[in-house]
Structure 1
Amino acid sequence: MTAFEAFMQLPSGAVGLGTPRAYRCGCGRQIFFRNSRCLSCGTPLGYVPSRLALYSLDPGFAPGTWCIAGSGKTSPSFRRCANFTTAAACNWLVEPEDSSPQQSLCKACRLNRIIPDLSQGENQVLWLRMERAKRRLVSQLIGLRLPVASKVSEDVEHGLAYDFLRPTPGRPRVMTGHHHGIITLNLDEANDAVRERVRVEMGEPYRTLLGHFRHEVGHYYWGLLIEGTHWQDASRRLFGDERLDYAAALKANYEQGPRPDWRQHFVSAYASMHPWEDWAESWAHYLHLRDTLDTAASFGIQPGQVGIEAEPFCDADLWDPKAPNGRAFLEMMQAWSRIAGVMNEMSSAMGQHDFYPFVLPRPAVAKLHFIHCVVSAVPAVDAERRTCRP
């Protein structure tokens, strides 16, 4: 067994297979992350975030409660998230310890601070797309054992919250961004035509809802995991000094474009704009590759059987060549190169843009390894109630 194979076979929530993505109904048929009912047998389904799994459900002992199918009515009971019946169509369950009259929302939905005006039909469609992307993100964060606490109802100082805003004529522009734990997302980004137009206008190879969620939450975790900790000096040496004038860097980027040599140092052109953006872009790419590899492993896709060879990374490409996770990380990167390569070919076969339209330069790999080390060092005990200073 290689170090990567061992890496992927660790229990859910450990550093290896963070978030399982393959599930089966009690009837034996395949079910998928977004399903709330089995399309084969009609059994109700619900996602239990603490268990990182989608389950078939039986009615619970108390009215309005559910239990995992086959576990008996004396087993822990769950409630549907209150957003199950809204446009968000949330299929997550409220955990037994959270199931109180005061807590009707699931782990993902309680992060919402402002939701769109649902009296407008288009907003309902766009919000559903936003929520599906957010649930994918939050499930991965939980799988990586990162702290996920609501700034609205759980941790006002260190928590996370989302404002979903729609541009309104005569009012200031809605800018997607992060500020002190509040992530604002422009609802128009959920409009495929608008998002593609912006992607082309900005000359971006990749622009997705999930990519936005991963990037912006990277800013949040920089403040939570890096700022003021022993990681900060190393982060500045690797990504640059985040105290550089952000407004000036943004202005220079839009007026002069990215650094001419960005391909040799950064994961994307936007990452070259400012150290904060380098971190957030690198964080997003780390989540991209981890979730993709989790999905491949969940469905039995073996990177070693993919007939694509990539130039191997080596110890010199690591942030810390002496790190005990170095070998497994390098094998993970090799697996990623193979999976991304074959997925790009699959995308071409369907006439789509490349699945992963990026080339990782060696300095960017060191940044990914740094992030991997930070994530691996997050304590696993009582994650929701910690300030998470490593």
Structure 2
Amino acid sequence: MKQLICPSCQTRVFFEQSDCVQCGEALIFDTAQSNVVSAASAMSCANRDLIACNWATDESDPFCPSCRLTRTIPNLVSDRNVALWKRVEQAKRRLTYDLMRLRLPLAVSSGAHIAFDILSDETAGHPIMTGHLSGLITMNLSEADDAEREARRAAFREPYRTLLGHFRHEVGHFYWEALVDQSQLISPFRLIFGDETRDYGEALAAYHNRADRSWNSDAFISEYATSHPWEDWAETFAHFLHIVSTLDTASSLPLSLDERSRHTLDDPYLERDFEALLSLWDAVSYSMNELNRSMGMSDAYPFHLTQAVRGKLHFVHLAILKTRSES
């Protein structure tokens, strides 16, 4: 996220802010300008008062481009659920921003389109499984509860588990369908990721029932990526979004960079030079981890990008470039 500035007092503000802490100006993020503007100059999303959505909308829809993607909202019977939903939508706005900056389609010719069901366990009467089906992403509201999410992260031996990470992973499944399936990329996909036609349900069951939890960290970005080629793609797609989004943030930080790095950071979402992106990411992720350790915190990016994983990331980048060039 490039640096945002309050239009009234020129103070730096965060992407999530609805008001400037310096001057009190009410703020709205205008997606058309990709910048914050005064709330007096734009139409607020209908969810602004309820969950502090700080995005603008227009006369065609009461909800902003991110909120209108939510098909089902959770049960709002409790203040806790409202607070958790606020966190979910906040993360989803980051995802929506990623997709807009990458110029990726939100729908495909088959009719599938991105939508979200944000569900709570007490309404369903059974545990909600976060997942994806033909563009519809289901998110368990409890994933916004830090304690519950951390417990699941530890139980599943995951080095990283965030709301935004979930969204980026699940939307990756949609973009396998949109960018790879039924395209000229399907053959190289199978060479790199494996044969996705093997039974998905059986593969996941085998993964969860494995007694031996060792896995090939040279070939996969995460243990879960080993379960099935679709999950390998989704995990890799999510990491590509992690990379370009973080580099976009780095573009406006007071860093000492050479001219080539500054060119790459001009718009990492649209950068065509994959090696330039990865070279810069190596330096940025190392710096983030060192800073976190100085604060006594865990690594911000606890992953190692091997040559095989870099190749998979490169394939994701090529698939995005191909789709963008054809649109």
1:214 aligns with 2:179: no
CA distance in 1, matches of 2:16, 2:3: 11
1:8-23 counterparts in 2 under 5 A? 20-23=2-5
Match of 2:68 in 1: 110
8 A Cα contact 2:118 2:139, kept in partner: yes
Could you tell me how far 1:171 is from its partner in structure 2? Answer: 2.8
Provide the TM-score with structure 2 as the length reference. 0.90
> Cα distance 1:170–1:46, how it changes in 2: closer, same or farther (>3 A)?
closer
CA distance in 1, matches of 2:150, 2:314: 31
CA distance in 2, matches of 1:131, 1:156: 27
Cα deviations by residue, 1:44-92 (Å, 9 ceiling, x for unpaired) = 21111122211234x3xxxxxxx2xxxxxxxxxx311101111x21000
Could you tell me how far 1:42 is from its partner in structure 2? Answer: 1.5
8 A Cα contact 2:66 2:93, kept in partner: yes
Aligned residue identity for 1:219: H
CA-atom RMSD, angstroms?
A: 2.3
Aligned match of 1:141 in 94, 99, 103? 99
CA distance in 2, matches of 1:279, 1:157: 22
CA distance in 2, matches of 1:281, 1:52: 27
CA distance in 2, matches of 1:93, 1:82: 9
Cα deviations by residue, 1:144-195 (Å, 9 ceiling, x for unpaired) = 111235x9xxx99221110011113883321000001110001111000000
> Cα distance 1:215–1:342, how it changes in 2: closer, same or farther (>3 A)?
same
CA distance in 2, matches of 1:175, 1:84: 28
8 A Cα contact 2:3 2:12, kept in partner: no
CA distance in 2, matches of 1:372, 1:109: 27
8 A Cα contact 1:304 1:335, kept in partner: no
Aligned match of 2:17 in 26, 35, 51? 35
8 A Cα contact 1:114 1:164, kept in partner: yes
CA distance in 2, matches of 1:82, 1:253: 43
1:379-390 counterparts in 2 under 5 A? 379=324
Structure (1 or 2) with the greater helix fraction: 2
- Aligned residue for 2:161, secondary structure, equals coil
Match of 2:48 in 1: 84
> Cα distance 1:229–1:170, how it changes in 2: closer, same or farther (>3 A)?
closer
8 A Cα contact 1:145 1:378, kept in partner: no
8 A Cα contact 2:215 2:223, kept in partner: no
Aligned match of 1:347 in 292, 307, 318? 292
Aligned match of 2:316 in 371, 378, 381? 371
8 A Cα contact 2:237 2:316, kept in partner: yes
> Cα distance 1:141–1:302, how it changes in 2: closer, same or farther (>3 A)?
farther
Aligned residue identity for 1:36: S
Moved more, 28-37 or 280-289: 28-37
8 A Cα contact 1:160 1:181, kept in partner: yes
Aligned residue identity for 2:36: L
Could you tell me how far 1:234 is from its partner in structure 2? Answer: 1.5
8 A Cα contact 1:165 1:186, kept in partner: yes
1:53 aligns with 2:16: no
Could you tell me how far 1:377 is from its partner in structure 2? Answer: 2.2
How many percent of aligned residue pairs carry the same amino acid? 41
Aligned residue identity for 2:56: L
Q: Which runs of 5+ in 1 are unaligned?
A: 1-18, 60-66, 68-77, 306-323, 381-388
1:144-159 counterparts in 2 under 5 A? 144-148=102-106, 157-159=111-113
Aligned match of 1:335 in 240, 263, 280? 280
1:198-277 counterparts in 2 under 5 A? 198-256=152-210, 260-277=214-231
Aligned residue identity for 1:136: R
CA distance in 1, matches of 2:231, 2:147: 25
1:167 aligns with 2:121: yes
8 A Cα contact 1:165 1:185, kept in partner: yes
Equivalent pairs, count: 316
CA distance in 2, matches of 1:362, 1:379: 26
8 A Cα contact 2:8 2:23, kept in partner: no
> Cα distance 1:21–1:27, how it changes in 2: closer, same or farther (>3 A)?
closer
8 A Cα contact 1:258 1:272, kept in partner: no
> Cα distance 1:53–1:37, how it changes in 2: closer, same or farther (>3 A)?
same
Could you tell me how far 1:20 is from its partner in structure 2? Answer: 2.7
Aligned residue identity for 1:201: A
CA distance in 1, matches of 2:300, 2:192: 27
8 A Cα contact 1:215 1:283, kept in partner: yes
